[in-house]
A = this chain, B = another copy of it.
């Protein structure tokens, strides 16, 4: 481990210990100070960001990517406003999750506590730097941020503004840290920092997430890979099914809760598929279908096995006809990423069976897959969508950034082979 990395990781660790016991008020105060500072230093932030934009342009980056990278005063104001919204959310820390007075008189409580130091590895826009730091701070955690090297100048400037803003507050300025350096090695250091970092959250594409899962000795929360399905049951309302499918695919194709495959029961295929193909065509979607789907439309592209595994994130969708609900479930289990899968049906029994058999973070019944989202679920904010089963599954809000601690209080309680004795 380089001394540079060790320095920031240890600073984060020390800050985490100071931050953890703080109640809500000083944390909210610190968040508001960060929001104010971002606005006050907008000109410097835009200047730092211009270096990233210039470098990206020199490297021939597409204008769409450059737009994702760009900060202007309006965007900085929006980032600051999002920080203020995080300050307004309830503090998850200190919540009594469970508790009881045990038969022997011990008072037992399970309290929500911060995780400690959270490492975030992300490819996204520079706003993630601030969003992630704010959510972690609100939940009492220190952050070690490792953003995209394409946004390095912006991230350095953003983290400096946040740290300086914390100087005047009760929250230690070490609570927000940027992993130094832009090389792949700095990602490796973060992944091997067991004992210094409590959890790693990779945010990005499947290859980033897989490499973190493979190489990390720090516990990882996988997020965001969404190969979502819409299954149109034999007893679906065809009109509803077409609208849900088009919404799930085309309303915002670049996000993880967009649909990537539709499956249709053979009994309803003759009615549903022609209507679906027409509506998808109108929405600009290319359908990659199996032979039976292709039989309904000349513009259907032959689907490959790989297509069924693919998170297109574009106006493309794979499609197949299935012989039963169970066959749809088997397809989803085989090809899906266990993010969100939907059924459209009028049958209560089919809905119940689908919900029971599909093993995904979210199952939608007669609704678009697009609703799997912390904002839509009422969490107020979201750090990502977990597609793993341990710790958190589905949209992760503030409580998902915490652990728990058991506290038991007695008056001299001793355990003996005959039961509890209270020391006199």
Contact = CB atoms under 8 A, between A and B. Distances in A.
A108 B20 CA distance: 31
A240 interface: yes
Contacts of A403: 389-390, 393
30 contacts: A20-B359, A106-B376, A198-B389, A199-B389, A214-B217, A219-B220, A221-B390, A243-B412, A243-B414, A247-B415, A251-B416, A360-B405, A362-B405, A362-B407, A363-B405, A363-B406, A364-B409, A365-B407, A367-B410, A367-B412, A367-B414, A368-B414, A368-B415, A370-B414, A371-B410, A372-B406, A376-B415, A391-B391, A393-B404, A393-B405
Nearest to A110: B394
A112 B293 CA distance: 36
A6 interface: no
A415 B247 CA distance: 7
Contacts of A407: 355, 362-365
B423 A364 contact: no
A109 to B, nearest CB: 9
A116 interface: yes
A417 to B, nearest CB: 8
Interface in A218-268: 219-221, 237, 239-240, 243-244, 247, 251
Nearest to A13: B333
B217 A359 contact: no
Nearest to A216: B217
Contact of A415 (B199, B371, B405): B371
B405 A361 contact: yes
Contact of A100 (B251, B360, B378, B394): B378
Contact of A414 (B251, B355, B357, B408): B251
Interface of A: 17, 20-21, 100, 102-103, 106, 108, 110, 113, 115-116, 194, 198-199, 213-214, 217, 219-221, 237, 239-240, 243-244, 247, 251, 333, 351, 355-357, 359-368, 370-372, 376-378, 388-391, 393-395, 403-417, 423
Contacts of A365: 407-410
Contact of A367 (B106, B214, B243): B106
A45 to B, nearest CB: 27
A162 B103 CA distance: 35
B414 A378 contact: no
A371 B214 contact: no
A405 to B, nearest CB: 6
A219 to B, nearest CB: 5
A408 B17 contact: no
Quickly give the copy total for this chain.
2
Most B C-beta atoms less than 10 A away, residue of A243, A360, A362, A371: A371
A415 B251 contact: yes
Given A199-B389, A361-B405, A366-B412, 8 more contacts: A20-B359, A219-B220, A363-B407, A364-B407, A365-B410, A370-B415, A376-B415, A394-B404
A140 B366 CA distance: 27
A193 to B, nearest CB: 13
A199 B367 contact: no
A351 B410 CA distance: 11
A342 to B, nearest CB: 9
A398 to B, nearest CB: 14
Contacts of A388: 219
Contacts of A115: 389-390
A340 to B, nearest CB: 8
A219 B217 contact: no
Contacts of A404: 393-394
A228 B187 CA distance: 34
Nearest to A364: B408
A251 B417 CA distance: 8
- Which has the most chain B C-beta neighbours within 10 Å: A365, A377, A390, A409? A390
